[in-house]
Chain A
Amino acid sequence: MSMRAPASDLPLMFENVSLQAGATIILNSLSLTIAPGAPTLIVGPNGSGKTSLLRLCMGLATPTSGRISWGGRSDPAPTRRAFVFQRPVMLRRTAAANVSYALAQAGAPRSGRARRAADLLTRVGLADLASRPARLLSGGEQQRLALARALARDPEILLLDEPTANLDPAATRAVEEIVLSAAQSGIKIVMASHDLGQVRRLAGEVVFLARGALCERAATADFLDHPATSEARAFLRGDLVI
């Protein structure tokens, strides 16, 4: 084996990417470059295409037209990316076994798996629940376990689809703290949210979607305080953007 580092998935580039389901246009000719750095938050009303954008980033969906590339390559296996779903699916095993499974799939050697799984559970504050069946954990605990599973992949890019949408404030804070510490450790965060408080707390930059199109992209403070487009102004006012 050579000693060179695995090829980077960044920058992640969208060139005129469209996604259609039947006659419905979900994303419309989107061009976007996601570079290393502070978290990118995908913001927009429900149905604006946030989830689809993230699935395309992960490679879980393929564009109807246009081109996506990861670090210049057009079809790399998702070994350097991880995804946290809005409603994560827990394997029917213990919390620790869920993390070990993710480690195994990421190619971690068998010998160090149990210790690394324990470390990851500690990192997300679930060390005490390691032997609990994962599906019996609370929503917030499941979301943190999903984060531990994602971090087990040692990702370069961590994609999160509204991970706190169904959580209470305490659980939301726990998730945000894990996400922030991941960002500080150098993982590129790309996260969908329609919680403006969360956007302010987390984001380095905002990508604002409306009706499947990229409307606006700006540093967080600029976006929140001086939105440039009428759609963004309406969204920030709390109007329904249809």
Chain B
Amino acid sequence: MRKLLILILTLIMALSAVACGEESVQSGSSDSAGGDDTVHTVTIYVSSGEMSAKNDDAYVKSKIEEKFYQDRGIKINLDVQVYSESDFNDVMSNKMASNSWDAAVGYIGQAGIDEIVISQNVCMELSDMIPLYDNLYSLVQDELTATTTIDGSVWGIPSLEFSNQYGVLVRTDYMARVGYTVEAGHSDDLGPIDAKPNGKLKTLVTIADFEDMMYRMKAQIPEITAPLSGYPWDVESTLTVGPFSNSGYTFKVVESTGDSGAATSVVPGQIAESYYETICLEYKWSHDGLWEEECYTGQKDKKIQSFVNGKTAIFTVDPEITKLISVARKCKAANPNATFTILEPLYGVDENGNKTDKRGYMAKQKASSCLVINKRSSKNEVILEYLDWLASEKANYDLATYGVENEHWISSGEGKYVYPANKKDRYETNPPYSGMYGLLKWQEYSYKLYDHYTAEEYGWIDTVRNAPTFKNVCENMLFIGEPTDMALNHQTAENDFFQDCLVKAWNGVVDPSTTFIAQAQRYRTTAAEYLTWLTNQYNLYTISRK
């Protein structure tokens, strides 16, 4: 017994020596001494749902720092740490409390960096500093409004993503089975819903056609459980946004304007009168089995599974085009006879069923994420210098985002790259570099796709990039700083509205035509102060940007 104890103790001491030894090898994030050779360590926390550490990150980091030193004469140590979006909240709260961060990157939106960091009054105000960096300023100045509050203070540096990102993936073989096609010029009458088309063809043009097509699919194709798969916010940013000119429940909407052009009522999308048609349509689709079960609560993986198994025909879950293409490929692998396409935005219809010219997909806000700097950080100049360096030459940004040219990627044309031949298999399953040192997605500045798409798929990407878009009027407005008592009533009003109207409609259980008006009125009463505040904010933003 005693011997056993002694053995265990020795083992522990050995292990602890090892563990302690490991730590001391790593240098902390303090700067090394020395005059002009000071190494500036910059600690940046990044919130990302898509990025994760990869094997060659350290190698690329050293290359970046080397080139940065050659070009700008500053020694930088980029301490970039990537966390998932939910972890970021926990970690960032602690880092802010202990003041151990220099910069942070995250998305703007609900529970985004604007709510978590900017509203806490810990960010450095940048309106004086950014113009000092020419390259950076000329690159981002158009979108700076996204991080600027009413008083003209600039709190962060925006990203520049494409506004054309979304599409709708459809199984054209299923479409053909009910007589629909995306080719122009067909207009046969297909007969009753459950009648087989027998060679007749109709072009899919309007949202009325789309609904008709779904009814036919449900009736005639037994493999399909429900033709449409997508979350409400996805459906509202692709299918309904154009025809109803309504950006959906997640965006703020200007309901009415006064004589001078100022808004007299700005409300969250879900209670706007213009949303009524959309929610009624969604109810109808869900109630009649056209929209999948658990459209609001189901897990993304399961929705992808359903599509891959052929149980759904139209897929708009997280409808960014490259993701849609990967889902299409998965489906093709499981169903070799399946064929696909990406739809052009649908046209709307008026009361008489005639086609209107309202169409488009939701425009993604270019500045969907931003970088903020700690107001107590002494590294602000270094950070801005680094961003300026990225903005000065595309080669720098490409190095920081895609890796070392010719080692990690080889350019294969405008906006495309391939992997070096001998590493292709390895890199396809496990990409070498995460892209984390690029910090912000400046897609409009430099964007490269991995060149493994077929011509058909490139055509789809073009469809999306050229599709007409619908821009939300409240774009680039930071609605932060909501007073707390208003915030509580606002939250209560939202919870109640969701519970009693929206969710029940999306599940096809309660017809919103019976609940919407009363519930929206209740919302307006409970959150009246919030709505006034929101309208004022909108007007002040508009006028300060004239």
Task: Indicate, yes or no, whether A interacts with B.
Answer: no
Name A residues whose Cβ lies closer than 8 Å to a Cβ of B.
none
